Structures are given as C-alpha cells and as structure tokens.
C-alpha cells in the first residue's frame, strides 16, 4: 500500500520499495552512473542505473555480501543508513540528515523487514507538476509541487521524493526541494523524474518589457505570427529583412546546395516585381539540383552505405537505394508513404532497393530485433533516441527496458538471406512460414525472461496477428496523424536545415522532457504538414516564404545573444559536399570521383565512403549511425589550412580551363572583372569600398595575373564564402 502522505511513519507503516525506497535512491543520486549505478558499481556496491531493475536492486541491497549493509538488530545503525548520513566515510558525502524524512522512510523500511517489489502493487500512471508554465522576473522564486497518479486512482504529493533538474542551469536554478530561482532572461524548463515518468515545467524570464508586434518586420505567413509573438513576449527585437543578394544566395545554398550563377544574380537584382522572392522559391524547388540535394539529406537519414553488406555488391546496392530515393524526391512522394514503404519493404535489393535500409541496420545479426534496426528506426523515423533502453531505462524519458523490447518485437520476424553472393543480392523477408506462425509474436526480455508482445514506444495498443508481418501494424501506428513524433521529426529536421537551429535540439531527440523552443510554432508546422498530407515540399515552401527565414543574419541591439528564438538568421558553415561543389563551381573545374562520370557534383555521389580528403575533413556523414550528429558543420584548423595552403585549391585556380584564367584574358574593364569575381564566389556585387580598395591594389601590382589570383584566392577563403548567412 502506498503511504506517501508526508505526515510521518508510525509503527504500522511499511514504505513501498518500488514507490519510495527506489525513488529515494534516485533522488539522492545513489543509482546514477557516476555513483553505484555504473556497470560494476562502486566500492563493492552496485545498483541498477536509475532503478531500472528493482528486483535486482532489492537483492543487492538485502542479500549481497551476507547482507553486511543491514543491521537487523538495530536497523537505524545499518551501514546503508549511516553512510548516507555521512557518519562513516562515504565518497558520495552526506545525502540526508538524521530524523529527516528520507532517514525516517529508510529506517522504517528496514524495521519492516525490507520488503521488495509487490506483484499487485499499484503502478505509476502519470506525473503532474504545478505550475506547468510561468512568467518569472529575474531573481524571482517559485515553489514547484509534484503529484503522482497511480493505477488505483490515488493521487499523491511526491514533491519531497522526486529528482529535479534544469535544462539550462545558467538561466534557472532549482534546489532539491523544487524551489526555482530565475537567474537571467530567457526560457528554459525544469525536469522532474519519478520512477519511469518525466514531467516538465517551463519558465520564461523576459529580457525587458514586451516589444509591440507592430515594431517587427512585416508578417508574411503564420510562421512569422508564432515567432514574432514569442520574441515580443521575451522582449527580443528582430533583425530587419535581408537584401535580395543575400536572400538569393541563401535560398540556392539551403534549398539546392548550389550557388546562383552571376547572370541569375544580376537578373534577380534587376527584377522589380513585388513577389519575385516567392516566384524564385518556386523556381528553385522545381530545379533538378533540389532533387539531388534532398536525396542527399534522405540518404543521410536512412544511412545509405555499403558497409556490412560483405562488399559483395560493391556500390551497386548503394546506388540502387540512392536512385530510389531520388525518384521519391523527384515525384514529391508524401513523407508518410515514403517511410511506410521503407519500413515494410521486403524482397531483393535488385527488385526493391529500399530493402537496403535494413541491410545496413540489421547487419550481421541473425535476429533483426536484436540488431541496431530498432534504435535506428526510432531515431530516423520518429526522431526519438531509445537505444539506451536496450540495456536500462531511458535516463531522461519514460521509456523502459520493457518498452524497448516490446518495440523490437515488430522486427522479430525479419530475416536476411545472403545465399546468392555472386550476384550481390540480399533478400529481406518477414518469416511467415507455418512453423514461424505457430510461435507467438514478440520477443523475450533478456533480463526478466518475460515474453513481450509487440507494442509501440508510446504504449498505444495495436493489433497484430501471426499471419501478417508485424511491421504493417507498426507502419499504421507510425504514420497515423495522431502520432506527433513521426510528423514532428521531419518538421524539426526541415526547420533545423533552413534555420540553423531545431525547434527541438538535438534535432533527433524528441521527448517530453526536451520541449520545443516555440510550442505555438511547433504545433502549427505539424498541423500544416499533416493537413497537407505530409507534402514535404509544401512544408519547405512555407518556411522559405516566411519573413523569419528572410531576416538578416546580422544582429541588432537586444538580440545579440539569442540562439533559440529566431530573431535573426543563424549563419552556418556550408556542408562538406556543398562547399566542395561551391569551390568547383567558382573555379570552373569539377571534382573527379573514382568510378563516377566526369562533372558529377559531390552532392550527387551516392556512396559516403568514396575517397575524398576534402569531404572527410569537412565533416561529411559516414552514415554509420542514425544520429544527425554524424554530419559536422564545425570549423577546424585542417579545413582552414586545406583552403588556404592546399595544393588542391591552387590546382583548380591555376587550371588553364578554369574561370580565373578566362577572366584574366577577358577584355572587360578591371572593374568589370572584379565584379565578376564577386558574383562568381560570393554571389553579390562588390561594394564601392571593396572595388576602390582592389583597384588601388591592382595599380600597385607588378603583375595583373598575380593580382587576380591573389584576389580570387582571398574571396574563396572568406568566411562569407564558407558560410551561408
């Protein structure tokens, strides 16, 4: 019986091991990875990480080492209690004091005979925190209250027993008892952990007085309504709209991974149409380069690579899957149908290239449900990281080890057949033979030995039967409009791609304890995506046409420190393939990739293992995992040295067939040549100051050819060239 009433424990009271003792150990950090919760424990004492295995914890606490931690004659003097109070040496220090509530509960449990988990004990069904949202002034305090809901309809105040954490400790503090203090302006959340449930409370501290919406740039669509409303409430001003030159370059790079040609830039600048930006967005979305670039994005998400395929097919399967993805983007196949088709794919790699997704995620495993496909699928399709739950409960979310293995049950019938290596053909099939059909659907939980039926990670009941592939039921649940994780995952990826910062960060870590930075915008984008039948291009068009996307990257007083609320465009370094193609375009000398035709661009290459020092040093994705973090956009010293001192770029600039050689021999004026260099590299005309300075340097130069080489090299090495801004 649960007795968390906060009134003290009498002789008749028996604390619950599951609902009081285990949470107590979690609250004080005893079962964390830094303490006794790591694999081998610490100093001879081990606990399951964050209490994911209470039956083991009970045995270790009460039976291990002849129960040396327990004094049955005088429970209050047990080593377990005295160490926690710091009365004997304890590396963890003093966790609670004598006669505190924690001490009282622990001693009472010991006196009651240390009962373990009870089979018919009420289960935790929900966790509520009050207040859930609040506006706090700087230095203002607020006490949180936490209620636990149980399957026997009881609601209990567990504030004293939960573990509190804060997402941004520089902005907000919370003590062990749930007292919140606002430290500086911004918005962040407090996370509350109790058993396998998580709840959050969001606190906002304005930077200054709210800014009237009328002072923001012109609203173009509902995206701007949500963004500007959030900025107004926080007291953060927005930067002005960017220039046409900046917009055009930004649009081409973000949407198609290419630079606009000089003639496209000059034509766009000369166009006086009021709606020319919207028209150009539609044109770029219809270009073949858009299809190439977004095929690359999907290839990263679905880990298209040749590793683990015995290399028997070389890159044949990789190219086939790449070609299939290219067709899906070209025809703008709805996202739900595309993902469902991959998820339920069967057959041979030659007949159905989407089978390639399972080849790299199942790998050498004979049983698909024990391979990385479970965690990879959740992260790629649902933006949810559940891989850690394979070994223990999720540290930051409600997902338990049972949830992981129930989810893996959907893949329990998958088999890979590699019996035809000479043709490099791998067959994937759901084993529905009679002998398989006699077996129940699901998997055995390795820790408890319990057989678990398939169930989605949100614990929604689904219907499966032995005669059909259980992935069909999984796909039906996944693409249902009610499944916010599936639709939100792509919305977040698209928003991150264009805006430089996801509404949820990391971009593939969606969970209730990691809320979006703008809930209104999050809800609008998801509903719009669903309403338009998962039309990815419609979603992209919506973002591109917003004023928010078209803001300057330069800051104004009041938004210099903003990195979460989109008061300005966040500059980002060009991706590895894009910057390589940009250098090739600017110099007029394409890159050569072994085994591919001359002139192919880096974004068009299917195989991420193609040998290229440039792509490696600039952080291309190797597609080994489903994590978006595999692709790096960080700036490093080797990158700078490669661009500034590498023979690679010198060869491209010095090539007699390149644009620079053609420009030098051109009969245009020096001012015209300087303008052409800027248009070719930075996609803009030089300012009067830049032109004047270069003309003066040219007058001092003893060699026009060397001058133009130096100027061209300098432009290729500017931050403006390597970044989208």
Q: Where are the domains of the chain?
A: 17-111, 125-205, 290-479, 576-618+635-724
User: Does this model's pTM top 0.85?
Assistant: yes
Q: What is the dihedral of CA 87, 90, 94, 98, to 10 degrees?
A: -30
Dihedral sign, Cα of residue 224, residue 225, residue 229, residue 232 = positive
Residues 6+ away with beta carbon under 8 Å from 640: none
| Residues written for the chain | 725
CA–CA dist 269, 247 (Å, integer): 11
Give the strands of the sheet with 124-130, arranged side by side: 124-130, 145-150, 155-157
CA–CA dist 456, 645 (Å, integer): 53
3-state secondary structure of 146: strand
CA–CA dist 66, 60 (Å, integer): 10
Instruction: Measure CA of the first residue to CA of the last residue in the chain; give whole Å.
Output: 61
Cα atoms found within 13 Å of the Cα of residue 386, Cβ hemisphere only? 30
pLDDT of residue 419: 59
Helix (H) and strand (E) counts in the chain: 29, 17
Closest listed residue to residue 615, CA positions, set 644, 586, 583, 647? 583
Helix (H) or strand (E) holding 428: strand 425-430
Q: Does residue 369 contact residue 409 with C-beta atoms inside 8 Å? A: yes
CA–CA dist 322, 703 (Å, integer): 48
Tokens for 673, please give them.
Answer: 């040549």
Closest listed residue to residue 587, CA positions, set 649, 645, 676? 649
- Burial code (b: 16+ CB inside 10 Å, e: under 16) for 608-620 equals bebebebbebbbb
In Å, how far are 577, 583, 588, 642 from 645, measured between CA atoms?
20, 14, 19, 6
Tokens for 330, please give them.
Answer: 């070209």
The domain 125-205 having CATH identifier 2.60.40.1080: the answer here is yes
Q: Does residue 551 contact residue 242 with C-beta atoms inside 8 Å? A: yes
Residues 6+ away with beta carbon under 8 Å from 487: 481, 526, 529, 530, 534
Question: For the purposes of burial, counting CB atoms within 10 Å of the CB of 16, is it exposed (0-12), middle (13-18) or buried (19 or more)?
Answer: buried
Which positions of the chain have pLDDT values less than 70? 1-12, 66, 307-314, 363-370, 418-438
pLDDT of residue 548: 98
Question: For the purposes of burial, counting CB atoms within 10 Å of the CB of 86, is it exposed (0-12), middle (13-18) or buried (19 or more)?
Answer: middle
CA–CA dist 563, 170 (Å, integer): 14
CA–CA dist 338, 263 (Å, integer): 37
């Amino acid at each position: 019986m649960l007795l968390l009433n906060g009134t003290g424990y009498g002789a008749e009271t028996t604390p619950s091991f599951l609902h009081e003792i285990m949470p107590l150990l979690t609250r004080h950090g005893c079962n964390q990875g830094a303490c006794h919760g790591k694999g081998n424990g610490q100093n001879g004492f081990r606990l399951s990480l964050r209490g994911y295995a209470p039956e083991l914890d009970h045995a270790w606490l009460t039976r291990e080492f002849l129960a040396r931690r327990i004094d049955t004659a005088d429970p209050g003097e047990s080593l377990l209690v005295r160490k926690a109070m710091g009365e004997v040496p304890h590396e963890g220090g003093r966790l609670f004091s004598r006669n505190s509530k924690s001490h009282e509960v622990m001693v009472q449990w010991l006196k009651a005979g240390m009962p373990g988990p009870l089979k018919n004990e009420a289960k935790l069904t929900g966790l509520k925190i009050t207040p859930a949202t609040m506006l706090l002034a700087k230095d203002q305090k607020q006490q949180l209250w936490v209620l636990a809901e149980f399957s026997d309809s009881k609601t209990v105040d567990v504030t004293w027993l939960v573990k509190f954490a804060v997402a941004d400790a520089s902005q907000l503090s919370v003590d062990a008892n749930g007292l919140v203090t606002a430290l500086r302006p911004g918005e962040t959340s407090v996370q509350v952990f109790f058993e396998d449930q998580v709840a959050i409370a969001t606190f906002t501290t304005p930077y200054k007085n709210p800014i009237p919406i009328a002072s923001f740039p012109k609203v173009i669509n509902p995206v701007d309504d949500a963004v500007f409303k959030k900025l107004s409430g926080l007291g953060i001003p927005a930067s002005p709209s960017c220039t046409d030159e900046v917009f055009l370059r930004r649009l081409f790079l973000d949407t198609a991974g290419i630079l606009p040609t000089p003639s496209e830039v000059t034509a766009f600048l000369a166009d006086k149409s009021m709606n020319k930006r919207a028209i150009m967005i539609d044109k770029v979305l219809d270009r073949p380069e858009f299809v190439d670039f977004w095929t690359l994005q999907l290839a990263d998400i679905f880990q298209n690579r040749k590793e683990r395929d015995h290399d028997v097919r070389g890159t044949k399967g990789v190219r086939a899957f790449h070609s299939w993805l290219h067709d899906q983007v070209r025809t703008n196949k709805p996202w739900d149908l595309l993902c469902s088709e991959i998820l339920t794919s069967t057959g041979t790699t030659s007949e159905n290239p989407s089978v390639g997704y399972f080849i790299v995620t199942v790998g050498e495993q004979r049983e698909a449900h024990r391979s990385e496909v479970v965690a990879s699928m959740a992260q790629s399709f649902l933006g949810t990281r559940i891989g850690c739950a394979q070994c223990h409960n999720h540290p930051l979310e409600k997902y338990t080890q049972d949830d992981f293995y129930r989810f893996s049950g959907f893949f329990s019938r998958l088999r890979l057949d590699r019996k035809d290596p000479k043709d490099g053909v791998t067959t994937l099939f759901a084993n529905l033979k009679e002998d398989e059909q006699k077996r129940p659907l699901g998997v055995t939980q390795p820790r408890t030995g319990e057989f678990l039926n398939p169930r989605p990670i949100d614990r929604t009941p689904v219907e499966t039967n032995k005669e059909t592939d259980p992935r069909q039921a999984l796909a039906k649940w996944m693409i249902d409009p009610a499944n916010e994780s599936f639709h939100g995952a792509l919305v977040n990826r698209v928003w991150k791609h264009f805006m430089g910062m996801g509404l949820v960060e990391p971009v593939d870590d969606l969970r209730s304890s990691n809320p979006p930075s703008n809930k209104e915008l999050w809800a609008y984008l998801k509903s719009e995506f669903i309403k338009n039948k998962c039309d990815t291009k419609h979603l992209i068009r919506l973002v591109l046409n917003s004023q928010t996307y078209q803001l300057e990257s330069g800051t104004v007083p009041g938004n210099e420190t903003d990195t979460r609320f989109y008061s300005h465009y966040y500059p980002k370094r060009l991706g590895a393939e894009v910057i390589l193609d940009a250098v090739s375009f600017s110099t007029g000398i394409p890159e050569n990739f072994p085994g591919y035709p001359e002139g192919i661009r880096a974004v068009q290459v299917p195989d991420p293992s193609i040998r290229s020092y440039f792509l490696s040093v600039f952080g291309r994705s190797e597609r080994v995992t489903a994590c978006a973090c595999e692709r790096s956009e960080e700036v490093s010293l080797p990158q700078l040295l490669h661009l500034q001192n590498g023979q690679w770029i010198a060869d491209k600039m010095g090539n007699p067939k390149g644009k620079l050689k053609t420009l030098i021999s051109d009969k245009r004026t020096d001012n015209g040549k300087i303008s052409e260099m800027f248009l070719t590299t930075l996609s803009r005309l030089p300012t009067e100051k830049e032109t004047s300075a270069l003309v003066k340097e040219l007058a001092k130069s003893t060699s026009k050819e060397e001058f133009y080489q130096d100027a061209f090299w300098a432009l290729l090495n500017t931050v403006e060239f390597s970044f989208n801004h």
